[in-house]
Structure 1
Amino acid sequence: MTAGRPLAAALQVYAPSAVYSVGVGAITPAMAPAATAFGASVAVAAASVTLVGVGSLVANAPAAHLAARAGERRTIIASAWTGALGALLAWAAVAGWLSVPPAAGLAVFFLGLFVVGMAGAGFNLARQSYLAVAVPASHRARAMSTLGGTIRLGLFAGPFLGAGLQSLSGLPGAFAAGTLAMALAAGGSLAIRELPVPGPAAGTPPGPAPDATPALPTLRSLAREHRRVLATVGVAVVCLSAARATRSAVIPLWATQLGLSPAAASAVYGLTGLADLLMSYPSGLLMDRRGRRVVAVSCLAGLGLGLALVPLSGELGWFTAAALAVGLGNGFGSGIVMTLGADYSPPRARPQFLALWRLQSDAGILAGPALLSAVTALAGLATAIWVVAGVAGLGAVVFARALPGGPGSAARSG
């Protein structure tokens, strides 16, 4: 790291991150329509979107092992190529290159999405671990929130690239865009420098070479060692991830409830994403200067308030205001999950701890939409949105009680 430019080491990660996210953003809106093109029911098509999250959840532990053994740089590169391979598999299935029955084509398509999810686990974990080491703790939150901003930028731009190629080649164009973007990200990742390997302190006489490589801590032993953090701050992370995962469904669903045109609904959703994106760097700056707690609590409180206001909106103006509150609240916490994970991760087992951290985050991502769907079926959409807002409020309370106040790492004693 450079003393005069503490974020210099982070810059080389941002470009591949943004490009990779463009690829993910390009294929995401096309997943369900592609599944229906194979003859899948609407329910199966909707479930196809969760395959990426399931793949990520399953691959967290192997990704941690790979990063610990091969290093973060190599894990980033290998994961990006794996993501490109998964997108290529989905592209081949949708384009009909395989000459197989529709059921087999759908299975290959689902396999491709699952591989994309697995690759995302390694790519996300390794770049987070890389920044935790490469950037000084005084600038960690800014580095992580800017990383979150590159992800948001890619996910915002990706659907437009996918739509452009779809206008030329139909539905396969979205997966072509995803494949090319992920491959480009893999190529760009080759420019990332290796992290320095810590050596003995100056003046320390050389000792005998160790007989064997020290055993790496297991996820189970780390979970026991850090159970208090995982059972408090980790639970709040689950709440945050669940609320975030549902917001992408809440806005379009309530727009439909209000009878808005697809164009109006898309415009509101786009404004929400823009508000989210604009908050990325300011949230990191505030985290570094005022502390993690003020940002984490404000993020979940704002997100919960915005969600709670959505069912109360009866026309476009109020709905847009509520949606903007959701976007601002979510954006205010850009990078907070990654920053907290880096704060609590022990240097001797950083990738393994981050895998545990991502397991909790991924669990929330999967649980949020499931909760929204279940409550909607039982009590209606408005009640379901209020329940999710309550989950966000619960997370804010846990953050307020568990995180220390003031600037600095959250791992210090409060």
Structure 2
Amino acid sequence: MAPLSPPASSPPAEFSLRKIAIPAFGPSLLFGIGEGAILPIVPLTARDLGASVSMAAPMVALISIGSLLNNIPASLITMRWGERWAIVVAGLWSGLGMALCVFTSHLGLFATGCLMVGMSQAVYNLARQSYMTEAVPVMYRARALSTLGGVMRIGMFIGPFLAAAAVHAYGLEAAYAIGIAGVLGAAAIGARIPDLEAPPPPPGQVAAPTLVSTLRDHRRVFLTIGIGVVLVSAVRASRQAVIPLWAEHLDLAPAVASLIYGLAGGIDMLVFYPAGKVMDHKGRRWVAVPSMVIMGVAMLLMPLTHGFVTLLIAALAIGFGNGIGSGMIMTLGADHSPRHGRAHFLGVWRLMSDIGSSSGPALLSLLAASLSLALGIAATGLIALVAAGVLAYWIPPAHR
């Protein structure tokens, strides 16, 4: 298989994302399908194992917790084994975690399996981002990473439908079979990706970069654009709860709420490539800032909606704003990551993103419980506008 990046003698214009579609994006699609297949089934399996409703719901959160806790170890794994083998190991570890979920009758082991799936997610996402950052010319970077994020979302969208059909025919265990097949398929394709040559150390550098030196050398980026990334992630994670919660507040039927959520997700998946192209040609600000402004304004207006049509408009705006920001966090991380010690940098970057993803819904829940759901949604909208301001101020006018 030809390398993902063109030979050094080839002009950048010869590079084509279309030519590398299968090795570059195939694993992400399959990994997304695999994880998407099991997510709706995890609480149901926990209930079958004897968990109460209050215990079953947090089982899905264990996947996010596993990812959050494993970001830094994921950087060490990637630095030690390289991106290709990290991708393979992530697929195998995720498949093992899913197998543990389906074959155990003990709730504690089931929870361990869910945690393993989240751990593999951290390794896979970091290794894939690091590989694409190095392999794709910088002039195509945003399109490549936006497509990477978009393809993963498409997989997460397809997975539950495949699982639903399998569960209907064969029972809950069939969803895990779909999941295992997806992540092992991602590992198989990942194993055929060519290794990248390690860049020579910069002149004068004696010791290899460490996590501590990476934090020290890039602290300004982490404390500026990195704060924006935390805020962006908080808003994005909260949006998944905002739409169904407000639909319930308006007494809309669950089927109607699902329809609104699905249409917003459809818009989300349609716009990732054009947004990446704009980032490549105009600069990152041209997408990052509008993405947060659109989501912020839509969330501020959502508490004013009063029925299906107005909520649908707000939800579609949120989906569009989120969709054009697909790959934005990965692209900003790639832009500022050093060639030497890149995995360490991206590990911290992804950790900050996951901290935002965990804190956003928690803040929404706290405000909804202590004040009101409307104020919680409005506060999330304000966070989005603050994120837009942070990104507008700190993102350079044009990418390097």
Distance 1:319 1:186, change over 3 A: same
Deviations 1:97-153 (A, max 9, x none): xxxxxxxx2111110110000001110000100011000111100000000111110
> Residue 10 of structure 1 contacts residue 134 of structure 1 at CA under 8 Å; is this kept in 2?
no
> Residue 10 of structure 1 contacts residue 135 of structure 1 at CA under 8 Å; is this kept in 2?
no
Structure 2 CA distance, aligned partners of 1:176 and 1:324?
33
Give matches, 1:236-255, under 5 Å: 236-255=228-247
Taking structure 2 as the reference length, the TM-score comes to 0.93
Mean Cα deviation higher: 43-52 or 373-382 = 43-52
Count of residues in correspondence between the two structures: 387
Q: Indicate whether 1:323 and 2:315 are aligned.
A: yes
* Map of 1:174 onto structure 2: 175
Give matches, 1:57-72, under 5 Å: 57-72=68-83
Structure 2 CA distance, aligned partners of 1:171 and 1:260?
29
2:380 equivalent among 384, 388, 391: 388
Structure 1 CA distance, aligned partners of 2:387 and 2:249?
28
Structure 2 residue runs of 5 or longer lacking an equivalent are: 7-11
Q: Read off the aligned partner of 1:5 and give its amino acid letter.
A: F
Mean Cα deviation higher: 171-180 or 287-296 = 171-180
Structure 2 CA distance, aligned partners of 1:349 and 1:72?
13
> Residue 10 of structure 1 contacts residue 131 of structure 1 at CA under 8 Å; is this kept in 2?
no
Deviations 1:382-403 (A, max 9, x none): 1111111111111111001111
Distance 1:112 1:312, change over 3 A: same
Structure 2 CA distance, aligned partners of 1:247 and 1:20?
23
The offset of 1:36, in angstroms, is 2.8
Structure 2 CA distance, aligned partners of 1:21 and 1:187?
15
The offset of 1:39, in angstroms, is 3.1
Q: Read off the aligned partner of 1:372 and give its amino acid letter.
A: L
Give matches, 1:178-193, under 5 Å: 178-193=179-194
Structure 2 CA distance, aligned partners of 1:271 and 1:382?
22
Q: Residue 49 of structure 1 aligns to a residue in which SS? A: helix
* Map of 2:223 onto structure 1: 231
Deviations 1:3-41 (A, max 9, x none): 412434565120011011011111112222322333323
* Map of 1:218 onto structure 2: 210
Structure 2 CA distance, aligned partners of 1:250 and 1:289?
33
> Residue 21 of structure 1 contacts residue 154 of structure 1 at CA under 8 Å; is this kept in 2?
yes
The offset of 1:355, in angstroms, is 0.2
* Map of 1:147 onto structure 2: 148
Q: Read off the aligned partner of 1:188 and give its amino acid letter.
A: I
* Map of 2:132 onto structure 1: 131
Q: Indicate whether 1:5 and 2:3 are aligned.
A: no
Q: Indicate whether 1:39 and 2:50 are aligned.
A: yes
The offset of 1:214, in angstroms, is 6.0
> Residue 9 of structure 1 contacts residue 135 of structure 1 at CA under 8 Å; is this kept in 2?
no
Q: Indicate whether 1:75 and 2:76 are aligned.
A: no
Distance 1:197 1:221, change over 3 A: closer
Give matches, 1:355-374, under 5 Å: 355-374=347-366
Q: Indicate whether 1:405 and 2:397 are aligned.
A: yes
Structure 1 residue runs of 5 or longer lacking an equivalent are: 97-104, 202-212, 410-414
> Residue 64 of structure 1 contacts residue 122 of structure 1 at CA under 8 Å; is this kept in 2?
yes
Q: Indicate whether 1:351 and 2:343 are aligned.
A: yes
Q: Indicate whether 1:295 and 2:287 are aligned.
A: yes
> Residue 6 of structure 1 contacts residue 135 of structure 1 at CA under 8 Å; is this kept in 2?
no
> Residue 6 of structure 1 contacts residue 136 of structure 1 at CA under 8 Å; is this kept in 2?
no
Give matches, 1:12-23, under 5 Å: 12-23=23-34
The offset of 1:76, in angstroms, is 0.6
Structure 2 CA distance, aligned partners of 1:126 and 1:317?
42
Q: Indicate whether 1:84 and 2:95 are aligned.
A: yes
Structure 1 CA distance, aligned partners of 2:46 and 2:234?
25
For the aligned residues, what is the CA RMSD? 1.8
The offset of 1:273, in angstroms, is 0.8
Q: Read off the aligned partner of 1:24 and give its amino acid letter.
A: E
> Residue 10 of structure 1 contacts residue 143 of structure 1 at CA under 8 Å; is this kept in 2?
no
